[in-house]
Structure 1
Amino acid sequence: MSSSASTKISSQKNNEVFRDCPCADFFDGRGCTVWASISKVIIMGGGADRFEVERVLAWAGFGEFRHVSGRLGVSDLFDQKRRTGVYVLSFRDGSYYVGKATDVTGRFRDHRDKKDPIEGMAFREVPAKLLDRVEQDSITALELLRVPLKNITSTRAGAASERLESAWATMDEIRRFSADRAWNDLSGNPLSDRDRRAKLHDRFYRLMQRPDVDEIIEAFALYLARCVPLPARTVLGRWVISALPGGYELSAIANLTIGWQWSAVAFEGPEGSMMQFYGRGSVLRRTFGRNLENLAGCDVYIASEVMGGTDQLRLVCRPAEARALLEKEPVVHALREVTLDLMQRPTPHAQHHCFDLADAILTRARSLPQPEFKPVLT
């Protein structure tokens, strides 16, 4: 692929089943089936109707919605010894609320006095020690279905800044990273684990035998330095890097995962190794045109992944072309928008983290000069 390669946008099939289901535990092993249903709603646009919500909740172990409009209490609906769990309230305006309780009947009385008129109530009995996790997974599932939620503090949108600040950064650092595309902080000492480092060292060794390994590490280092906030402080908790030569997916060479989603991938293309980055589509289109006709140096594809938002595009180029691509400020802006969204949740893939590869990439990233973004001609 030359730097003047034409940009093309390719759509994904609407019935694609995503490999990584963020609610797999929530759905008791049936997550991918329901995740496919959720993904159709997201890709096709719009929100789910009441039937779709009830179907997903039923798969997740919730009982059917009980009509509770006008009721003063719901004690007669629940056995006295089986009232601990997670509940979903439906309202006349089409919105929902997800909550947890050790006694759901008491919580209903609280909501009856404070919330808008309640129309229906679904309930899933859950052990007390799992209440927090199942409640959050239930919220995530309804968020992905794009239905209105009355929850404030537990939704990704409502608690994003609080989770980001408490997890790994101050709000001043987050604001600066969002506003100043040339700034990042690469200081810090990443965590290490001798046993886990040794476990994946063979894969790292095989990766280092590739003739193009320097270009691949350079491409990841550029991405880490310019698009991932505070990478030395967020590694392992918010992002991981996996070395995959000869692994379960033969086309993959290495991938960097933020939260639940791949965000930068090295893979084998028909004509050699390629890099793939995820960016915010609306940001790219504002600068490079609706069909991205002014974005040279990469191929562009519609992304079906949703954890970083549905407004994502995949930018694909050769590793050696990554520097030119990441010298475009709007491209860095688009990639940063996605990484900030993805970093709102911890990554569940720490067991796949290759410490040796992360060290090599961070070392290279720290040696890179401060970016001097070139003006974009449109």
Structure 2
Amino acid sequence: MRLKVDGLNSIAHLLPKAPGRCGVYELTFADGQRYVGQAVDVVTRFCTHRRNWSDIVEIAFERVGRGQLDEVERGRIRQREAAGVPLRNVVHTTGRLGASELDVLLPPAAQRRWLADHQPRNVRRSERPSDSVVHHRSRHLFNRLQADPRFTDELARLVGTYLRVAMPVTELTELSYWSLSALPATNAATYPRLLTVSVHALETLYVCHDRHAPQDLQICLNIDRATAKSQIRTRLGLAFMRTVDARYRIRPGVLGLQFTSPRSAQDALTRPGIVRAARKLNLDLMRKGPALNWKSHCPDLVERVLSS
């Protein structure tokens, strides 16, 4: 059913409890954007959305059993994305298609040009952000990483290359849209990280090891699966790499590449198809929202890898 809700603070009178209020809904906004969601009680959920968004003009609602909510919601999001409908969703979408805060920093036309290219760019290090609190908080972890013999010049160069080729206007998006952490606490009990590059809420490049084999480093690079497999040369190249279909709730369609040496990972970043796939994933994540791990960002480590 589809209901006009412009000006309404609640839809309790439109959806009586008796038939059920559990299901999947789609909000339509005044600017044409939409939002797909699920709720055990859509009336309660609508009130929450109304407090955050005053421009909801319509809601479409389909009753769905609790056990099918995730499946139906994901299917509806895929349908809308395939049709080119601009969504305000963050979770389950490959990328926010509507307006993004990133557009203020980097106009959409510039984003599209960068996405179509694969060449590394020079980083204007003098224009990097400066946050004294973040800098002070991460200094001791950087010093520990610097003293770790596993953190080699070759590994530093790899991370620097990744930042140059895979981040749009690296110096402007640093901290707000991507972060680089030294010795983060992620998976410390199983696969501790030596360092991690995160965009929005996802690790896009990280170096880790089995807790019981600290010398056997693994370099993991996440890229957009569809972009990587859309070109035959890239598909052929992937056949000789160790890949895994990564499953992340925040961003479906991720392909993980795993390397055992910086050299092999560096070689992968010379392949145009892989670079474009890395860019596609990172730009989608940035359009979803800002970096969530910015508090663990390590400016000293960024300077170290960019100067390698």
**TM-score clears 0.5:** yes
Q: Which amino acid aligns with 1:229?
A: P
| Corresponding residue number in structure 2 for 1:181 | 118
| Corresponding residue number in structure 2 for 1:232 | 171
Distance 1:183 1:193, change over 3 A: closer
- For the Cα contact (< 8 Å) 1:206–1:245, is it kept in 2? no
SS of alignment partner, residue 300 of structure 1? strand
Distance 1:227 1:97 in 2: 34
- For the Cα contact (< 8 Å) 1:176–1:183, is it kept in 2? no
- For the Cα contact (< 8 Å) 1:185–1:229, is it kept in 2? no
Instruction: After superposition, give the CA deviation of every residue in 1:244-286 in whole Å (9 maximum; x if it has no partner).
Output: 1677615211111101111010112555222111112233334
- For the Cα contact (< 8 Å) 2:201–2:291, is it kept in 1? yes
Instruction: After superposition, give the CA deviation of every residue in 1:17-39 in whole Å (9 maximum; x if it has no partner).
Output: xxxxxxxxxxxxxxxxxxxxxxx
- For the Cα contact (< 8 Å) 2:184–2:196, is it kept in 1? no
SS of alignment partner, residue 200 of structure 1? helix
| Corresponding residue number in structure 2 for 1:122 | 43
| Corresponding residue number in structure 2 for 1:197 | 135
Distance 1:190 1:146, change over 3 A: farther
Among all aligned residue pairs of Structure 1 and Structure 2, give the percentage whose two residues are the same amino acid.
18
| Corresponding residue number in structure 1 for 2:64 | none
Residue of structure 1 aligned with 2:256, choices 302, 314, 337:
314
Count of matched residue pairs: 258
Q: CA deviation at 1:362?
A: 3.0
Distance 1:333 1:184, change over 3 A: same
Matched, 1:329 2:272: yes
Distance 2:224 2:245 in 1: 11
Matched, 1:277 2:221: yes
Distance 1:289 1:187, change over 3 A: closer
Q: Which amino acid aligns with 2:117?
A: D
Tell me the TM-score normalised to structure 1 length: 0.57
- For the Cα contact (< 8 Å) 2:87–2:98, is it kept in 1? no
| Corresponding residue number in structure 2 for 1:352 | 296
Bigger drift between 256-265 and 206-215 goes to 206-215
Distance 1:336 1:70 in 2: 39
SS of alignment partner, residue 76 of structure 2? coil
Q: CA deviation at 1:187?
A: 2.5
Distance 1:123 1:168, change over 3 A: same
Distance 1:77 1:187, change over 3 A: closer
Q: CA deviation at 1:229?
A: 1.1
Q: Which amino acid aligns with 2:154?
A: E
Distance 1:143 1:98, change over 3 A: farther
Matched, 1:258 2:179: no
- For the Cα contact (< 8 Å) 2:88–2:97, is it kept in 1? no
| Corresponding residue number in structure 2 for 1:301 | 244
Query: Superposed, which structure 2 residues align to 1:39-78 within 5 Å?
Result: none
SS of alignment partner, residue 166 of structure 1? helix
SS of alignment partner, residue 205 of structure 1? helix
CA RMSD in angstroms, aligned pairs only: 4.1
Q: CA deviation at 1:287?
A: 3.8
Distance 1:70 1:248, change over 3 A: closer
Distance 1:147 1:159 in 2: 15
- For the Cα contact (< 8 Å) 1:204–1:354, is it kept in 2? yes
Query: Superposed, which structure 2 residues align to 1:144-163 within 5 Å?
Result: 145-148=74-77, 152=86, 154-155=88-89, 160=97, 162-163=99-100
Residue of structure 2 aligned with 1:243, choices 158, 178, 182:
182
SS of alignment partner, residue 106 of structure 2? coil
Query: Superposed, which structure 2 residues align to 1:27-38 within 5 Å?
Result: none
Q: CA deviation at 1:307?
A: 2.9
| Corresponding residue number in structure 1 for 2:26 | 96
Distance 1:143 1:347 in 2: 29
Distance 1:75 1:336 in 2: 41
Distance 1:359 1:74, change over 3 A: closer
Q: CA deviation at 1:346?
A: 0.8
Which runs of no fewer than 5 residues in structure 2 stay unpaired? Answer: 14-20, 31-40, 57-69
Matched, 1:171 2:108: yes
- For the Cα contact (< 8 Å) 2:86–2:98, is it kept in 1? no
Q: CA deviation at 1:142?
A: 10
- For the Cα contact (< 8 Å) 2:12–2:43, is it kept in 1? no
Distance 1:163 1:147, change over 3 A: same
| Corresponding residue number in structure 2 for 1:31 | none
